[in-house]
A and B are shown apart, each in its own frame.
Chain A
């Protein structure tokens, strides 16, 4: 049975639309870890509705995701944010009496954020990963919802020649926050400006993170500032096609 290890890849709607390359890089890494990648038909995990206070809407979206993912033993999400939604919030999203509550918990227990998965199942050697100086940005949900801190750094050390450079206040939010940066753009921009200033001061060539939302935010702002620093998803940094 070890030959038929399967992993379902839930790429998140943001990657699906904005950076499909991240999904492809994730799939290659999972395959290099000895798994067959399955991509069930998927939409949104429900986080935008959940964070906006629309719990009922979030339940509708979560039910669709749960139904799509529950056949699989291993579920990989290349995002701490959507992964955090599933792992940390699905278990309490439904009332205890709701039959979906136990299904939600079952799925939640099988979800791994990409770097958590790769730390447990190291990929075989492949193309050399990203090189140069990198500033690693922990997304808030990776760090605090999922407790991921060492995994991406260890993977970068073992799979790439990149040098991880420290930067100030690296545990602070970048100001993305999903709909937060849409509803409160002035506040979000100040937070992003501080984050970009810290990254620029670090002397890094690229900023790497496990969440595309943070990367669009930080990378987009760096680009507007005329900075050459690239924003790279950890999947691309590790798979060696960034």
Chain B
């Protein structure tokens, strides 16, 4: 989509005042919401412990649980497909649509379908998808990708949304007032109602796969998932294989930490539960397909970043990340952003010079791990990627040489002493030259001194002073 690398995308984001404003508002909103939910849930830390144990066990038992899920879902009348990668999943989805002559699709928000870039593929096969989550609908109209895993249009202001609606809904009165949030929601609802009624197929993701009953669980706040999964005659769910848990007890715990960590709700407004297609005079789809997506997940499960698969996609790590809240989701260059995206994207797209930026662009502040409902050690997983990148020779030669020289100097007392002595001299000279403060440094110090004035060091290092004291 873009030829900029992470640094270029981040720089662009940092200079976008509308984006900066939108991110600043969202940051406070989500972090406060989670903090309030935590405060009114006395056993929240215990819930997190239980959710952590459940997700770890689910990942350890994943192959077995998936087979159980397949057996139960099949028994309930659904068809289960296994997709090794994105191309596989896309082909299965369009194949199902074609077999049913479906050309009009409605979709609920699904990161798995973003991951496999399903919409473009559907369009190229003559199937028109309409996103029914408000945020997704907005960015679909704008031709953008989501910038947050639970709030896809969080990068936009309501004025930008009004502008988008005016451009898209040309059949409506141009003089209508859509300056307020409520008016925007109402307008989208009217438009989406038409799409719901006309659709041949509903495509959703899945928040949880319950192995013991072969059930898909989906959460939403807009009710659009209920309609997407039940109004059309055909339903396709696309789910990452890591979404499986063993039992309803497990699913209950996951749901309890999910909403609290994501939006600060005790429970999402809607929890949609689907076990096979509708039977007899039940309301719902007559045909139900479930596509289980691997796309790098099995590889992840086998390596030193397997804990990432425990992720329940709540977005708390994004909302509390100083890097994400500064640059927004699009800078990450993939559907997943923030700390979880920085671990997942290199796994999905491969580790390259650009994707290696993602795990490196972190101050290791550790707040992601501190708020993760399933206690994924995100900084450690980012570190593992950095080690992989270092072993693959991806850091710049300057960085690798610098680290090697530092290692050699710092482990030889005379060399370390000489380094500190000459650094102090050099910095004191620069400071004198620049009027009493270090205001501009070349090379590695350039970025730091671009916006900072540093007081010069003392003439003698601590160790030299200490030797003198005795």
Contacts and interface: CB of A to CB of B under 8 A. Distances in A.
Main secondary structure of the interface of A (DSSP, over half): helix
B364 A21 contact: no
A223 to B, nearest CB: 4
Nearest to A185: B447
Interface string A10-38: 01010111111111100100000000000
A131 interface: no
A185 B370 contact: no
Contact of B447 (A13, A44, A181): A181
Question: Which range holds the interface residue count of chain B?
Answer: 35 or more
A212 B188 CA distance: 52
Given A20-B465, A54-B390, A43 B363 contact: no
B451 to A, nearest CB: 5
Contact of A183 (B360, B365, B454): B360
B466 A57 contact: no
A192 interface: yes
A41 interface: yes
Interface stretch (A69-77, A158-166, A170-178): A170-178
A191 interface: yes
A177 B448 contact: no
Contacts of B323: 184, 187, 191
A17 B439 CA distance: 18
A194 B321 CA distance: 13
A223 B453 contact: yes
A74 B448 CA distance: 35
Given A53-B386, A60-B411, A186 B11 contact: yes
Contacts of B361: 180, 183-184, 187
Nearest to A224: B453
B191 interface: no
B11 to A, nearest CB: 5
A153 to B, nearest CB: 19
Nearest to B404: A57
Interface stretch (A96-104, A105-113, A115-123, A214-222): A214-222
Interface stretch (B55-63, B72-80, B168-176, B455-463): B455-463
B362 A49 contact: no
Given A13-B420, A39-B463, 13 more contacts: A15-B462, A22-B462, A44-B410, A49-B403, A60-B411, A64-B410, A172-B322, A176-B363, A182-B445, A186-B14, A187-B14, A220-B448, A220-B453
Contacts of A171: 367
20 contacts: A15-B462, A18-B457, A20-B462, A20-B465, A23-B465, A44-B406, A49-B406, A52-B390, A54-B400, A54-B403, A57-B406, A61-B407, A140-B367, A173-B365, A177-B362, A181-B447, A216-B452, A217-B448, A223-B453, A224-B451
Contact of B444 (A43, A182, A223): A182
B450 interface: yes
Contact of B448 (A54, A60, A185, A193): A185
| Chain A CB within 10 A, most for which of B14, B403, B406, B462 | B462
B362 A17 contact: no
A39 B464 CA distance: 11
Nearest to A39: B466
A53 B388 contact: yes
Interface in B346-365: 360-365
A72 to B, nearest CB: 15
Contact of B395 (A19, A43, A53, A188): A53
Given A43-B410, A177-B362, A220 B452 contact: yes
Contacts of B387: 53-55
A177 B326 CA distance: 15
Contact of A191 (B363, B386, B400, B452): B363
A175 B366 contact: no
A224 B450 CA distance: 9
A43, A220, A223 pick with most chain B CB within 10 angstroms: A43
A152 interface: no
A12 to B, nearest CB: 9
A23 B362 contact: no
B448 A182 contact: yes
Contacts of A175: 322, 363
Given A43-B411, A43-B413, A191-B323, A186 B7 contact: yes
Give the interface size bracket for A toward B: 35 or more
Interface in B411-470: 411, 413, 416, 420, 423-424, 437, 439, 444-455, 457-458, 460-466
A202 interface: no
Contacts of B369: 144
A184 B367 CA distance: 19
A51 B387 CA distance: 9
A193 B452 CA distance: 10
Contacts of A42: 463
Interface in B277-320: none
Most buried by A among B410, B424, B450: B410
B7 A221 contact: no
B15 to A, nearest CB: 9
B145 to A, nearest CB: 20
A224 B435 CA distance: 13
B388 to A, nearest CB: 7
A6 interface: no
Interface in B1-47: 7, 10-11, 14
B119 to A, nearest CB: 30
A145 B458 contact: no
B452 A190 contact: no
B326 A140 contact: no
A191 B448 CA distance: 13
Contacts of B454: 18, 216, 219-220, 223
B395 A177 contact: no
Contact of B451 (A16, A61, A221): A221
B322 A191 contact: yes
A83 interface: no
Nearest to B24: A194
A185 B450 contact: yes
Given A191-B322, A217-B452, A140 B410 contact: no
B466 A177 contact: no
B318 to A, nearest CB: 14
A242 to B, nearest CB: 13
A219 B448 CA distance: 12
